Each structure stands twice: as structure tokens, then as C-alpha cells.
Amino acid sequence: MPLLMHIEPLLIPAELYQLGDTVTVTVHSNEPLIHIKTMTKECSLASNFVAADEDCPPPTYQIWDQWLAPFTELAELQQKVATDPSLVVCGFPANDGCVDIWHHQGQARAVYCRHSGASEAQRAMLLVALALDYPLEDAVVLARAHARSYQDHNQRAQGDLIWPTEAKVFPRALTINYHQIKQLGWLTDDQEVAPFAALGSSKLGLYPVLESADWVERVLQLGVKTTQLRIKNPQASDLEHQIQQAIVAGELAQAQVFINDYWPLAIKHHAYGVHLGQEDLDSANLVAIQQAGLRLGISTHGYYEILRALEYQPSYIALGHIFATLTKEMPSLPQGVSRLALYQKLIGKRAPTVAIGGITIERAAKVWRTGVTGVAVVSAITQADDPAIAVIALRSILAPKVEIMTAGVCDDDKHYAL
């Protein structure tokens, strides 16, 4: 019952902001596990024990969140989680704060928070976020942020619309760039990297992502000032030629042209910038990119990846994919405009942002109203009957914002005006 008292108030803002499908809660007093079923997954959770009974299959996630001194070493827990995909460590005391750890593709990932917050609030948000189809890493991050927010504001009334939105309540992603990572005892082989160069213009506006250098030249001739060359086939015979062609076109047009993925060639030919996906952060030489003076854009798909990207202080952060898209196979679900607005609020002015994924001319305005500084499009231009007209239409929609202070919510999109 104490846990339910925390869950129910969280379902109100989740529904108001349209963060996922409607969640229903059913209580079975003799059920040892918590079961969660969504449109895309089913999982079960157990807290601080292992279900060994043959009639009770092992849980999907084994949550450890109760700790008594003396504490084990953080590196030991890191290794345990790296070898056990079911283990999730929450609130482990470390260096006057706490660490949350989970498994990701054979590795352990973690966030650190100086204040653990309220434990019941943390457990409730973990369950609610999973029920809203957030991935585990985002559920863990949201749970810690809510625990902090709940404790800071002492929001105990059942009717309160409580959802973590302030950057100060969110934890820090444990990367080599976190200054206290060695004191915590978290092990990593990465190399610390300095902040990346700022964009020439942070008001990105229209940001076409294009599959050939010819298309890059074409949009630059239409007055576009920021674009990206994204060639999907690394075995393309003219790959290096196209990259060089796009870079030269950008220099002639005095535009910001980013090269997707192929950072060694981008460095070789002195590109303006590079765009990397999350998986590339583990393999790319970020130090070499930064020392070459290239700008860096990083793709993100949720709360944890945003926190991770912020640690590297990139030139901009891409947020996606917002709507379903056919231009690229995506491992995650569409984020939607409501979640996009929350991500933008979390980032604030710490980095320019670009929304990407399935954005059409018809959808561009409501995406723009979330506060992002750029909107990336692909087929809205490349498959338009007249690309020049499409560029004009999009640029008129993505005109510089006029900031208006208001105490209310906007009439037609109140579910994400936060």
C-alpha cells in the first residue's frame, strides 16, 4: 500500500503529458514478483531476493536497493552487473552519494547522484517508467530524479502533478569525463576529452540530413546553412570523394556541414563537424576529433543517453527519433512530441538541440514549439515534388523564436507545454 500511494500520483502527470499508454495497476497479495506488460515487452521484478521456487520463474530484473555497512567495493558491483543482465543496483552508497547500475550489452552502466532521495518514491517511479515503456536505463534515471525531486519539494499530496523536469534533480552519467569517477572507484578505459568547439550559429533551424554530396550541394544553393552527409554504406566506392565534396561545398557556402560516422575521413579532410551515434562513442577517438577542432553532434534516444552526451560537452545534441521513420532502422520506439518537450527542458541552454526522425512539413511546427534549436528532416526535402518549395516552407516555420512569458499552457498542445 505505501508503494501504491506513490504510484497513483505519478500516473496523473504521465497521462496528462501523454507520456505513454494508460497504465492500470492490479494487486495480487500472494504474488512474489511484480509483473509489467506493455505493447512491446513483458518483464518481472523482484526486490532484494532471488526467486528459486520452481513454480516462480526467475525475475527479468533483480533489484538490489537495500544496503547495510560494511559496503562492498563499487568495482566489484560493476563486475557483477556486467556479467548478470538481470541485476539492477539502486542507491548503492558511494562517496557521500549513491550510484545506480544496470547491464548494457555486456557492460555495466551507471549514474551518480549526490543525494539519494526518498526510497519509496524511487521504487514507484522505476515501476511507472517501465510500465510507460521507457527502457530500463531511462527508468533508472527517472526513478532517481523523482526520488530527489520528491524529497526536495516534500510533495506528498496524492493530487500533486509531480514529474521530474529540473536538471538539478537528475543524476550524472558515469563517464570518464565525470571529475569524481576515480574517487568513486568506477573502472573505465576511456580517455578524458575536453569540450568540443561551439557552433558558428547555435540557432540551427532547418537541418537537412542527406544521403549524397550532390544533395548537400543542392540544399546549400537553396540557402540552407546547416546540413549533414549521412552515407549508410561504408563500402561505397566513392565514399571518401563524396565526403571531400560535401566538405568543400560547405566551405564555399560558409555553412556548417557535418559528416555522419566517418570521423577519420572527416579529420583528414578538415570537416566542419562530425555526427556520432551512441554506439560510436565507445569506438570513435573523441580526443582526436576534439583536438582537430571539429564540432561534434551526438544522437540520443532518451534520458540516460542525454545525460551521457552532456558529459562530453558536445557542440549539439540530437533528440530522436520523434516519429516513426523509414529512413533508418531504429532500436528504440518513437519518442513523440511530449517526451521531446521534457528532454528539451532537461537540457535547457546547456547545449543546442536538434529534433530528428519522421518530421514532415506538417509536423515541424509542433516540434519547433518544444524549444529545440534545430529540426532535422530527410524525406521532407529529398522526396518533395519541389525541394526548393519544401525548403522555403520549412524555413518559414522554423523562423527565430519570440520568447513569451506565460503562466498558462498553449491551447492546442497543452500536454507538452511544461
Contact 355, 34 (CB under 8 A): no
Residue 112 has pLDDT above 70, yes or no: yes
Catalytic residue among 218, 230, 295, 339: 230
Give the pLDDT of residue 51.
58
Q: Which residues, other chains included, contact 366 with Cβ-Cβ below 8 Å and sequence gap of 6+? A: 337, 413
Percent with pLDDT over 70 in the chain: 91
Evaluate if residue 408 carries a pLDDT over 50.
no
| C-alpha distance from residue 261 to each of 215, 220, 224, 251, 289 (Å) | 18, 21, 21, 20, 12
Q: Is residue 36 packed enough to be buried (19+ CB in 10 Å), middle (13-18) or exposed (0-12)?
A: buried
pLDDT in tens, 64-111: 999 998 999 999 999 999 999 999 999 999 988 999 999 999 999 999
More confident residue, 413 or 238: 238
Residue 80 falls in the annotated catalytic set = no
Q: Bin 348: left if φ > 0, else alpha if -120 < ψ < 50, else beta.
A: left
Calpha distance 8→128 (Å, rounded): 9
Tell me: the pLDDT tens digits for 344-380? 999 999 999 999 999 999 999 999 999 999 999 999 9
Q: How wide is the angle at C-alpha 86 spanned by C-alphas 108 and 177, nearest 5°?
A: 15
Residue 25 has pLDDT above 70, yes or no: yes
Class of residue 307 by CB neighbours under 10 A (exposed 0-12, middle 13-18, buried 19+): buried
Marked catalytic residue, from 299, 308, 315, 363: 299
Pick the CATH number of 205-397 from 3.30.1330.10, 3.40.50.150, 3.20.20.70, 3.40.50.970: 3.20.20.70
3-state secondary structure 140-207: HHHHHHHHHHHHHHCCCCCCCCCCCCCHHHCCEECCCCCCCHHHHCCCCCCCCCCCCCCCCCCCCEEE
3 state SS of 302 = coil
Annotation says 328 is catalytic: yes
Beta strand 97-104 pairing with 87-94: antiparallel
Q: What is the pTM of this model?
A: 0.93
Per residue in 134-157, pLDDT (tens digit) is 999 999 999 999 999 998 876 544
Rounded CA gap, 292 and 379, in Å?
A: 32
Examine the pLDDT at 406 and tell me if it is beyond 80: no
Is 349 assigned a catalytic role?
no
What proportion of the chain, given as a percentage, has pLDDT over 90?
Answer: 80
- My answer on whether omega of the bond before 9 falls inside 30° of 0, hence cis, is no
Q: Would you kindly state where each structural domain of the chain is located, as residue ranges?
A: 2-184, 205-397
Q: pLDDT higher for 398 or 327?
A: 398
pLDDT at residue 410 above 50? no
Average pLDDT of the chain is 91
Reported as a single tens digit per residue, the pLDDT across 44-53 is 999 986 555 6
Q: Is the pLDDT of residue 411 over 50?
A: no
Of 268, 328, 345, 366, the active-site residue reads: 328
Query: 106 in helix, strand or coil?
Result: coil
Task: State whether the Cα torsion 107-354-303-115 is positive or negative.
Answer: positive
Kindly tell me if the per-residue pLDDT of 203 is higher than 90. no
Q: In this structure, are residues 118 and 154 in contact, taking their beta carbons and an 8 Å threshold?
A: no
Q: Are 96 and 116 in contact (CB under 8 A)?
A: no
